[in-house]
A = this chain, B = another copy of it.
Amino acid sequence: MSAPRLGSIESGGSKFVCLVGSAPDRIEAETRIPTGRPGPTLARAIDFFRETAARTGPLDALGIASFGPLELRPGHARFGHLAATPKPGWSGVDVAGPFAEALGVPVGIDTDVNGAALGEGRWGAARGLDTYVYLTVGTGIGGGAVIGGKVARGLVHAEMGHLTVPRIAGDSFPGSCPFHGDCWEGLAGGEAMGARWGSPPEELAGEALARALRMEAAYLAAGLRNIVYTVAPQRIVIGGGVAAFAGLFPLLRTELTATLAGYPGLPEHAAEDFVVPARLGRLAGPAGGLVLAAGAAAAARRSPGAGPSGGTGA
């Protein structure tokens, strides 16, 4: 059987990354489209897939790892639509439907974070695991859980950035979250770090950087502890700009071990392969789109004619 020909979109606030291929190292065509108004942006992306298909052969399916918040409840009338978002013009937009209609192929859609989780699970740092968490720690914090091989999703997709965690003694920074002030993201996202220390984390150095990373590790560990006790992941994979700081991961492992305090006493939680950096980098989201496309193709074989579907690890 030949490799499937899958389309993938990672849609973000600044650009749509569109590609055709079967794996992150088997990409046949790729383009980047600046995120403008919805109509023209979606039309340009559709054109890319149509032209690629005309040139190299038809697609089997398309997967979209999209910025949110997205309606993803199966069977919901607005499945695959964006909810209220500050991005001008995008609130309520149907992201999945226009592709399904224009391209005539099965379409899978999930959040960008869940997409990255699926990509890391298929080809990256969570390969071979069926229950793990992917976190991105950049300007903000977002997370997705894959449990028993499927993206966890109930009323809404998982979130994780807005956990409540105790304030670290001596930290008087009020927090940067517009909803909660001092939630996890409000205390430990990149925006919070920049506001607390007076300059973006990438501009800190020496003792100022060391102090910032110690506090960052302690706050991140508090949220990781809550995730560990809630879903018992086999591994936590962390991507995003803040996670790229050399030296953060050893501090984070030490702080996590300290805050777990011997409960439940598993050696796995203290091991170097429990909290790890993401491996796919910028390709995590596009790789997730490929996993979503493969899942949509499989779902269409089981239920021909069904509409766009949510993410699975299948």
Contact = CB atoms under 8 A, between A and B. Distances in A.
A250 B210 CA distance: 46
Interface string A164-176: 1111000000000
Contacts of A229: 158-163
Contacts of A155: 131, 232-234, 266, 268-269
A146 to B, nearest CB: 10
Contacts of A167: 166
B226 A154 contact: no
Contact of A261 (B147, B156, B180, B264): B180
Contact of A264 (B156, B225, B265): B156
A259 B145 CA distance: 22
Contacts of A131: 152-155
A215 to B, nearest CB: 16
B163 A166 contact: no
A157 interface: yes
Contact of A179 (B145, B161, B162, B261): B261
Contacts of A157: 232
Contacts of A269: 155
Contact of A230 (B84, B226, B259, B268): B226
Interface in A165-198: 165-167, 179-180
A158 B226 contact: no
A231 interface: yes
A69 interface: yes
Nearest to A84: B265
A268 to B, nearest CB: 5
Contacts of A152: 131, 147-148, 152, 231-232
A262 B180 CA distance: 9
A209 to B, nearest CB: 26
Contacts of A225: 162-164
A227 interface: yes
A132 B145 CA distance: 15
B164 A233 contact: no
Given A152-B152, A222-B164, A268-B155, A231 B145 contact: yes
Contact of A154 (B162, B165, B166, B234): B234
A150 interface: yes
21 contacts: A84-B265, A131-B152, A143-B230, A145-B230, A145-B231, A147-B154, A154-B232, A155-B269, A156-B232, A156-B266, A158-B230, A160-B229, A162-B225, A162-B263, A163-B225, A164-B259, A166-B166, A179-B262, A226-B226, A230-B231, A231-B231
Given A147-B147, A155-B268, A164-B226, 4 more contacts: A148-B148, A155-B234, A163-B226, A164-B259
